[in-house]
């Protein structure tokens, strides 16, 4: 695509979506200026990649797109421009390779985010084709944006004072509302709303939850919290059905926190759990502590004569329950119920845990809500303000962890970049 090289665009936000939009526009011959409040590029991207940069997922495309739930149709359209195979080719073009892990997640071969980001920034600043991208760090957009004729003016707060920039188009990629210290603080919500663009309130996604104790208080007992906060609960199954009849059931692991639960298995169910709490003020999930055992076998093992052994020793011996699993049983069941064989066996296979609140948005892996897709056209341009584009986690969609978040951020950046290039052309 060829675009008038005199055209300029201001991209606000130097995360994956903003950078992918910048690359797309640079290749189209647009002068791209990227502004970010942080001292350096991709802060959240780098932190998220510390444990291994999960780029995307290798499952079939028709299954991949189901992970976007209510926004499947829109996200599918984005991902058709940059799917998992295209992301791997893009990484290869940066001089790096990828591999597929045992869980079908795709990573760079060295697992790290920093080498990929360095190679990406080098290509943006020194493209073999296209226009070099200019970066303006420590430039925090303060919400000021005006359009006169076909030109936008924006104000940024910088260490040297207010800076006013002018551009032929603007692309917002400011992230959601989680991990505010890395730049995604959600401050843009009121500013974008003031521009006449519909915004859905940000909510935690892929988040932890606070539990309700047996006596109705928030959080675990002091004993469980002191003994097991930070301890993983492995090889269990979590099931949940909400008041609308939507169900979740999966096996995996999660972590017991000081006040509740978090971790991959909980994150996978978090959207259903969060929305049920909003509707009903609480949500009760169920844990199967021995998913490999049938209810009949659990009943038989619990009923087996224990002689002089304590109940805890008996359960450890017969069912190999961990100290944490025993602690959870004591947390939920009364002393009388613990000594009732039928109630105990049922709880081991179907232990109710009641959740009362999500953890704060800033603790979440990602956020739901944002600029409603209905306020944008297929190019991700605001219908109320032509020339203004939006991409990434600012948009009203959500997905589980596993490469789906980053994939859609990159793909939406590509779509918005293509749309902006077409608009400027």
- Tell me the domains of the chain and their CATH numbers: 8-204+368-424 (3.50.50.60), 209-358 (no CATH)
> Is 243 in contact with 280 (CB distance < 8 Å)?
yes
Distance (Å, rounded) from C-alpha 327 to C-alpha 325? Answer: 5
User: Helix 404-424 and helix 16-27: axis angle, to 10°?
Assistant: 40
pTM: 0.92
Q: Would you list the DSSP string of 164-204?
A: EEEESEEEE----SS-GGGT---THHHHHHHTT--EEEEEE
3-state secondary structure labels for all residues of 82-126: CCHHHHHHHHHHCCCCEEECCCCEEEECCCCCHHHHHHHHHHHHC
| H-run or E-run covering 249 | strand 247-256
pLDDT tens digits for 61-110?
A: 999 999 999 999 999 999 999 999 999 999 999 999 999 998 999 999 99
| Adjacency order of strands within the sheet including 98-100 | 56-57, 105-108, 98-100
Distance (Å, rounded) from C-alpha 330 to C-alpha 315? Answer: 12
- Tens of pLDDT along the chain (425 residues)? 444 458 999 999 999 999 999 999 999 999 999 999 999 999 989 988 777 899 999 999 999 999 999 999 999 999 999 999 999 999 999 999 999 998 999 999 999 999 999 999 999 999 999 999 999 999 999 999 999 988 999 999 999 999 999 999 999 999 999 988 888 899 999 999 999 999 999 999 999 999 998 877 889 999 999 999 999 999 999 999 999 999 999 999 999 999 999 999 999 999 999 999 999 999 999 999 999 999 999 999 999 999 999 999 999 999 999 999 999 999 999 999 999 999 999 999 999 999 999 999 999 999 999 999 999 999 999 999 999 999 999 999 999 999 999 999 999 999 999 999 999 98
Distance (Å, rounded) from C-alpha 335 to C-alpha 2? Answer: 74
* pLDDT, position 5: 59
């Amino acid at each position: 695509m060829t675009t008038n090289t005199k055209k300029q665009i201001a991209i606000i936000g130097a995360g994956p979506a903003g950078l992918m939009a910048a690359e797309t526009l640079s290749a189209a011959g647009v002068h791209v200026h990227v502004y970010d409040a942080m001292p350096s590029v991709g802060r959240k991207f780098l932190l998220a990649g510390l444990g291994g940069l999960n780029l995307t997922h290798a499952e079939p495309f028709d299954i991949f797109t189901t992970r976007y739930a209510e926004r499947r149709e829109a996200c599918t359209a984005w991902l058709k421009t940059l799917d998992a195979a295209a992301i791997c080719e893009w990484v290869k073009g940066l001089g790096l390779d990828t591999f597929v892990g045992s869980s079908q997640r795709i990573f760079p071969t060295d697992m790290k985010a920093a080498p990929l980001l360095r190679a990406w920034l080098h290509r943006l600043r020194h493209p073999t084709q296209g226009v070099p991208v200019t970066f303006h760090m420590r430039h925090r957009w303060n919400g000021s944006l005006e359009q006169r004729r076909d030109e936008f003016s924006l104000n940024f707060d910088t260490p040297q004072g207010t800076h006013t920039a002018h551009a032929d188009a603007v692309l917002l990629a400011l992230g959601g509302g989680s991990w505010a210290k890395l730049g995604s603080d959600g401050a843009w919500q009121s500013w974008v709303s003031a521009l006449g663009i519909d915004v859905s309130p940000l909510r935690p996604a892929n988040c932890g939850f606070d539990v309700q104790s047996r006596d109705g208080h928030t959080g675990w007992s002091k004993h469980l919290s002191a003994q097991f906060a930070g301890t993983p609960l492995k090889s269990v199954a979590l099931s949940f059905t909400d008041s609308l009849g939507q169900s979740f059931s999966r096996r995996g692991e999660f972590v017991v926190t000081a006040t509740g639960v978090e971790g991959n298995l909980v994150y996978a169910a978090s959207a259903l759990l969060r929305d049920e709490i909003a509707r009903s003020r609480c949500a009760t999930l169920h844990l199967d502590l021995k998913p490999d055992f049938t209810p009949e076998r659990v009943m038989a093992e619990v009923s087996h004569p224990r002689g002089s052994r304590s109940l805890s020793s008996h359960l450890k011996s017969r069912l190999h329950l961990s100290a944490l699993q025993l602690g959870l049983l004591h947390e939920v069941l009364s002393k009388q119920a613990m000594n009732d064989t039928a109630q105990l066996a049922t709880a081991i296979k179907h232990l109710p845990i009641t959740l009362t609140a999500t953890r704060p948005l800033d603790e979440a892996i990602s956020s739901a809500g944002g600029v409603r897709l209905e306020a944008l056209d297929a190019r991700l341009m605001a219908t109320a303000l032509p020339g203004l584009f939006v991409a990434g986690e600012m948009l009203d969609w959500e997905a589980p962890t596993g490469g789906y978040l980053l994939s859609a951020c990159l793909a939406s950046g590509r779509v918005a970049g293509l749309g902006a290039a077409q608009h400027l052309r």
